[in-house]
Structure formats: structure tokens, C-alpha cells
Amino acid sequence: MILSTPDIVQRENQVFHQVTVESPKGSSFLWYSVEEPFGGLLSHSCDAALVGLLIPAMACGEDIHIRGAVSERLLYNLSGPCQSVLRYVMPRLRPIRVTADTLSPSLTPRPAGVATGFSGGIDSYCVLADNLGADTLPGFRITHLLFNNVGSHGKDNERMFHARFEHLAPSARRLGLPFVKVDSNLGSFFGNGLGFTKTHTFRNASVALLLQGGIGRYLYASAFNYQNVFVGLAREIAYTDSISLPLLSTDTLDAFSAGSEYTRVEKTVRVADFAESYGTLDVCINSHQRGTVTNCSACPKCLRTLATLDIAGLLERYSAVFDLEAYRRQKNVYFAELLAIRNPFHREIIAFARRRGYPLPIASRILHLLRFPSLSRFFGQISETFTGPPTTTGSSGSSVHNPYQSN
Ligand SMILES: [Zn+2]
């Protein structure tokens, strides 16, 4: 795989960073684009393309040569250490050689911009809660919010990318931060077995490197507590973030994972102090399938968040983004499942309830003692007939809980 020097070109109100990709499969273009006011952020180096295409190249066993400039530090780390991390996560990847014609000079001092992705989820809001306050150190205070189209928006990708951006844009305006919408065809280079959850760290880091013209620090919202960080076979690459992001840094861009000092419950409570989240918090795993930007209030991540807020006494703050009545109808069954299915997130919520002196519903205890989840659902349906009809879509879904799934 041979990567050209990027062309920076403007078409209408979009500025493109475009790289020619020559491979045994043929010639193609990798492009990223931003709206014209943010064109000055685009880097002229090949760093973004190199990080973006490393995994697809390793999947094909194709060496990469860069006919242009690339960061020396990045070239060093992507030639060996980074590939090792990736092969522990995805053993099918093959080691490749990475070479370049030129090493790019580092910008000194580092650009002043501090960026983080803004998705409206718990992890994302936690980074904002921690890095926008008056006491934030100046070099870590968020100056730019990013919204990327690198393959996370599902089958209806293009429509959802724009819809989600428009949903969050008013929030960014209220926060007084520029909201950089980064479109790209990077996702089209990732084939079977290279799904978003396995590869998102590299896809999103490539965007941060794209913006090295003005961004010198990149805070990537962590999904996991430090106790869960590891490098090995896993469904999600996020377990490696604390290790892999520093390897994706350059002398111009400092990239790292932010928020791993918190547990999931601690993050949720932290976010509930951040008022901007009350009208836009988005934790739902069903919204993609339904093609909406609202929380279903029934999927495992919605219920996990609602139960935590309920125990903390903060549920009403989120009445605009959740159907609280639907939650209350499911609550007895959900708490019974929290007691019965002892994964780490469930244990954490139950421990939080005990610390807070929150009384677990009697009905949940009885359902739990019955030890039959299907019977629990039956009782839950009976309970619903006495409290009103269900109004939400999607299943209660707790039985398909991925214990380590992030928000
Ligand atoms: Zn949901």
C-alpha cells in the first residue's frame, strides 16, 4: 500500500484532505472533510492516513510506504509496538513494514487546541464535566468538540451522521465551543471482521491527527476503568485505549484516554452534575436500529443509566431524554435481574444502592428468590397490567447485557 502526500482542496463549503491509496487491489482515495471555517486545522502530513489505514493494511498483510511526510514518533510506534497491541486484540492481523520518504518536523510549541469527541454519551459528558470547569488546567481545557463520520453511524450512516450532529449542535453552541464535523470515507476501508468496536480508537485518532494544524491535545473518552484495562483478545479495542493512544501521539499531538479513574456508576453521577447533559444525554443502543436520536428507556444501557440515576436520587433531571414512566414499570424486573445476573456492572449498581441506603424493591427481591428470569418477566408483565400499558419500543433486553459495554 502506497500513500501519497495529502492534497488539501476546497469544494464549495467543504475543505478536503485527500490521499491517494495504491494497493494490489487498485487505486483509491482516502478523504476527510471539514466545513470551510475549520479548514485551517487540516494537517499536511500523512499521519492521519497512516493511523487510519494501518489496521486494513495489516488485515491484508500489505506493507505501507508513505510518499510524503510522517511523524518520526508515529513511524517508530506504528512500525512495532502498535502492531503488537493490535495483534493481541485481533490475532488475524499480520505484521507489516511501514516506511516513509520524509519525516515531518514537529510544531513547537504544540498547537493550543484541545479536542475531544462529543457523542452525548456518559463517557463523553464525563470528559466535558472534568475539563471545562474554572479549575481546569489551561493546557487541558477543551477548546474544540469533534463529531466524526468514521463508521459509527450504522447502516443508515450518512443520514444518522447528519441527524446526530444536528441534535448535538445546540448543546455545543450553549457550551460556547466550536463543533467540528469531520466527514470521511475511512470506514469503507474496513472489511469483514474489522468492525467499529474492534477498531474505533484508530479510526478516531486518525481524525485527531488530521487536525494537527490547530489541535495539540486529544482527550479520548475512556470506556473502562483502569482495573479493566488490558491488551488481549477482546470484543472491544477500548480495553487498550490507555496503552494504545499514547502510541498514536506525535510530537505535535498528545493523545490519551481520559476518565479511566472512574467506575461506570461514578461517571454517571459525575455527569449528572453537568447541566448541559439533561436535555441531550444519549446512551441508547437501540437508537441506531430505530434511526432516531432518542433513548428507548428499555435497552440494557438505558436501564443501567436510569437505575444509577434513580439510586442517586437524580432521575427527574433526565425526564426530557428518558421515558421515566416506562422505566418505573420495568424497575422491579430490572432490579431482580441486577441481583440475579452478577456481572461487574450489575454488582457495581447493587453495591452503590447499598452504600446509598437505597431500598431495593420488595418485588425485585421476591423475583430474584424465584431464580427464574422467564418467570420474572411474566411477573413483570402482570405488574405492567396493573400500572398501565408499555409505551416504549425495544425489549427490556437485560439478558443480552454485555458486562463491559460502554456508553
Ligand atoms: Zn435504549
Residue 177: what pLDDT?
97
Q: Which residues surround ligand 1, an ion (CB under 5 A)?
A: 284, 286, 296, 299, 302
Summarised one tens digit per residue, pLDDT across range 70-125 is: 999 999 999 999 999 999 999 999 999 999 999 987 667 889 999 999 999 999 99
In this prediction, what percent of the chain has a pLDDT beyond 90? 73
Main-chain dihedrals φ then ψ at residue 99, nearest 5 degrees:
-135, 160
Cell of 362: 420488595
Label residue 290 by pLDDT band (50, 70, 90).
Answer: low
Going by C-beta distance under 8 Å and a sequence separation of 6 or more, which residues neighbour residue 58? Answer: 83, 86, 87, 93, 94, 95, 96
Residue 374: what pLDDT?
53
- The alpha carbon of 295 and the centre of ligand 1 are apart by a number of angstroms equal to 5
- CA separation for the pair 67, 5 (Å, rounded): 6
- The alpha carbon of 299 and the centre of ligand 1 are apart by a number of angstroms equal to 4
Residue 312: what pLDDT?
97
Which residue would you say has higher pLDDT here, 389 or 86? 86
- The alpha carbon of 306 and the centre of ligand 1 are apart by a number of angstroms equal to 10
- Cell 493490535 belongs to 86
- The alpha carbon of 396 and the centre of ligand 1 are apart by a number of angstroms equal to 9
Residue 109: what pLDDT?
81
- The alpha carbon of 354 and the centre of ligand 1 are apart by a number of angstroms equal to 25
Residue 157: what pLDDT?
78
Say whether pLDDT at 369 is over 70: yes
- The alpha carbon of 325 and the centre of ligand 1 are apart by a number of angstroms equal to 14
Label residue 289 by pLDDT band (50, 70, 90).
Answer: low
- The alpha carbon of 123 and the centre of ligand 1 are apart by a number of angstroms equal to 16
- Cell 442517586 belongs to 312
Label residue 10 by pLDDT band (50, 70, 90).
Answer: very high
Is the sign of the CA dihedral 363, 364, 367, 369 positive or negative? negative
